[in-house]
Structure 1
Amino acid sequence: MTTTPTPSGRPAPATARPRRARGLRRLAMPLLLSCGMCLGALAAAGPAQAGQANDTVVETTRHGGRTVALTFDDGPDPDDTPRLLEVLRKHRVKAVFCLWGDHVEEHPELVRAIVAGGHTLCNHTMHHDDMATWSPEDIRADLAEANAAIRRAAPGARIPYFRAPYGSWGQTPQVAASMGMQPLGWRLVIGDWEPHSADEFARRITEGVTPGAVVLLHDGGGDRSATVEAVDRAIPRLRAEGWRFDKPARRG
C-alpha cells in the first residue's frame, strides 16, 4: 500500500485516508449520476443524434478515388426491385435504396429482402412530395412517418440517409440531420425516368461516372426494367476499368 504525501511532504495519518476516500466517493457520486444521465440520453437518442450526421448534402463516396456508389429511388417495386436485388447479388455489389413510404407499406417483404441483401436504407419521404416550402415541423412529421413504416417492415433497420424527392431540398437537410440522417445527393443522374434502352442507360453510367461519384437511378415509380438491365451490363464494364463500388460518405 502506498501513502499519500501531505503538503508538508510527510505521509498522511492512516486514519485520515478512509475519511478522505469517503469524501471523494461523496463528491464522485453526483458526477457519476450526471454522466450516467448523459449516456442514457445519448443511448435513447441513438447514435445518429450523437453527431453522426450534418446538414451538408453528400454527393461523393466514402473513399473517393476510382469508386462509385449506386443509389436507387422510389422503390420498393414488386417487379423491378427483386430483379435488381438478384443483379446486385450476382455482381457482389451493395447499394443504397431510397424508399418511398407508400410503397414500403404496400410491399414490406421487399424492404426485408433489401435489408437481408446487406444493402443500406434511405428515407425518401412518405408520399414523395416536393418539400421545398414545407415547415420544419411538417417535414419532421413526414420523415418520422416514413421511418416508422420502414421499421414496421424491417424492425430495427438502420436508416442513415435521407434524399429529398426531385432534389427539392428546402429545409429538409437540417431536419433530416437532426433526426440522424445524412442528406444524400448525387453527382451523376442518368434520367432513367424517361424511356430509353438498357444500352443507352448503361452507356450513360459507364461514360458519365467520375471519381467518387454517387449515381442516382430508380427501381420504382414506373417500369425500371431497362435500368435493371443497364446496371447488370454496367457493373462488369466498370470493374474491368478499375472502378470499385463504395457507400456514400456518411458526413458532409
Structure 2
Amino acid sequence: MHKDQFLSRRRALLAGAAVLGAAGAAGTAQLLATDQGSPAGSSAAPATPAVPSTPAAPAAGAQANRAARVAGKPSAYRLQPIAGYGPARTAPARTLVRHEPFLRMSGRGRTMVLTFDDGPDPRYTPQILRTLKAHDVRAMFFVCGEMAVDNKDMLREMADEGHVVGNHTWSHPLLTRLTRSGIRSQMERTCDVIEEASGERPAWFRAPYGAWNRAAFQLGAELGMEPLGWTVDTLDWRTPGAGTIERRVMNGAAPGVVVLAHDAGGDRSQSVRALRDYLPRLLDSDYHVTVPRRQAT
C-alpha cells in the first residue's frame, strides 16, 4: 500500500485499534526515564507512566481511558519481552521481567523524543530531514517496508545523519488480526529492507495504530527489537492545521515525552510546516530533543 492509501485504511481501522493503542502507549511509556545527570553506575527510578492523548475515535474514548488506566499498572506482561539475549531471532528460554527503565535519554530533565511514522515519502520526508539537520536534532523514523523498499536512499540518509530507523511493519496492517506467522513476516521483511539500506537491523519497532498484543511483543523481541509507544499524539493524520499540531506538541511538552507524528500516509504538508515552527520553540525553551539509547540488559 502506497502513500495516500494509508489514510483511508487508517480511518477504517483506527476505531477498533483505539483501546489497544492506549494500552500499548501507556505500557511502553512506563519504561521511559530521563537521565538527570546521575553518577555513573547509578540507577534512576522508573518514570511515572504517561497516559497517552485522547484516541481519535470518540466512540471508543471511555474504553480507551479505562484501558490506559489499567495499562499504567506494572505487570509482567507489560514489562516483557526483553531483547538482547544473544543473536537476533533467538528467544530466551525464560523471559525475565524488567525492574528498572531500559531506555534513558541524556540531558538534565528537559529531554524529548520526536518520532515519525509510515514513511519514507519522497514528498515530505526530505523536508523533515532538512529541518532536523538545520537544528542539529536527531529523531526516530518508524518506516513501513513497502514504502522503504523504493526509497532506500532516504533510509541511508537517516542513518548517516544519526537518526534512528525503526520497524513499522511492511504494509501497516492491524497486527491483532494477523496470525503469528503473518506478524513475523510483516516485521522480518521490513527488518531486511532496513538492514540492506542502512547497514544495521532495527533495534526498535512500533505497532501500526498502536495496536499491540502478546504475539507482537514476543516476535519483536525474537527479532532483536524493543517496542516503543508514545505519550503525545499530534493526530496530524487528521490534517487539523499546522497551528493545531504545533499547539499539541507545545502543550504536551514535558521531560521524557515521546511525540507521535507522521511523514507519510497522506498529505503531510501540515506536519512539515508544524515541525518548522515547534522545533525551534522547543529548543528555545531549553528542551533537549534527541533519540534514546537502550540500556544494557
Q: Which amino acid aligns with 1:124?
A: H
* Kept after mapping to 1: 8 A contact 2:191/2:201: no
Q: Do the aligned partners of 1:48 and 1:181 also contact (CA within 8 Å) in 2?
A: no
Unpaired runs of at least 5, structure 2: 1-84
Q: In 2, distance between residues paired with 1:72 and 1:59?
A: 21
**Structure 2 vs 1, CA of residues 193 and 55 (structure 1 numbering), >3 Å: closer, same or farther?**
farther
* Pair 1:212-2:256 in alignment: yes
Distance in 2 of aligned mates of 1:60 and 1:191? 25
CA–CA separation in structure 1 for the residues paired with 2:216 and 2:228: 11
**Alpha-carbon distance change, 82 to 54 in structure 1, aligned in 2, over 3 angstroms:** farther
Establish whether residue 127 from structure 1 lines up as the match of residue 171 from structure 2. Answer: yes
Question: Contact between 2:103 and 2:294, CA under 8 Å: does it hold in 1?
Answer: no
1:230 counterpart (274, 278, 281): 274
Runs of 4+ aligned residues of structure 1 deviating over 6 Å after TM superposition are 47-50, 53-56
Q: Could you tell me how far 1:223 is from its partner in structure 2?
A: 1.3
Deviations 1:98-150 (A, max 9, x none): 00111011212111121122110100001100001333332122211111122
Give the distance between the partners of 1:207 and 1:137, measured in 2 at CA.
41
Match status 1:118 vs 2:146: no
1:103-252 correspondence runs (5 A): 103-154=147-198, 156-170=199-213, 171-248=215-292, 250=294
**1:237 is paired with a residue of what secondary structure?**
helix
Matches of residues 92-107 of structure 1 in structure 2 within 5 Å?
A: 92-107=136-151
Q: Distance in 2 between matches of 1:54 and 1:80?
A: 41
Aligned length: 207
More off after superposition, 65-74 vs 193-202 = 193-202
- Residue type of the partner of 1:157? E
Whichever residue aligns with residue 178 of structure 1, its letter is E
Per-residue Cα deviation, 1:182-238 (whole angstroms, up to 9, x for no partner) = 101000001000122212211111111222011110011111111111111111111
Q: Contact 2:234–2:260 at 8 Å: present in 1 too? A: yes
Q: Calculate the aligned-residue CA RMSD, in Å.
A: 2.9
- Counterpart CA distance in 2 for 1:54 and 1:115 is 31
Structure-1 separation of matches of 2:286 and 2:201: 30
When residues 133 and 250 of structure 1 are mapped into structure 2, their CA distance, relative to the original with a 3 A threshold, is farther
Q: Aligned pair in 2 of structure 1 residues 54, 108: CA closer, same or farther (>3 Å)?
A: farther
Which stretches in structure 1 are left out of the alignment for 5+ residues?
1-40
Summarize the Cα distance change of 1:54–1:223 in structure 2 as closer, same or farther, 3 Å threshold: farther
2:124 equivalent to 1:80: yes
User: What is the identity percentage for the equivalent residue pairs of Structure 1 and Structure 2?
Assistant: 36
CA contact (8 A) 2:105 2:293 kept: yes
1:148, 1:106 → 2: CA distance? Answer: 13
Partners in 1 of 2:207 and 2:264 — Cα distance?
A: 15
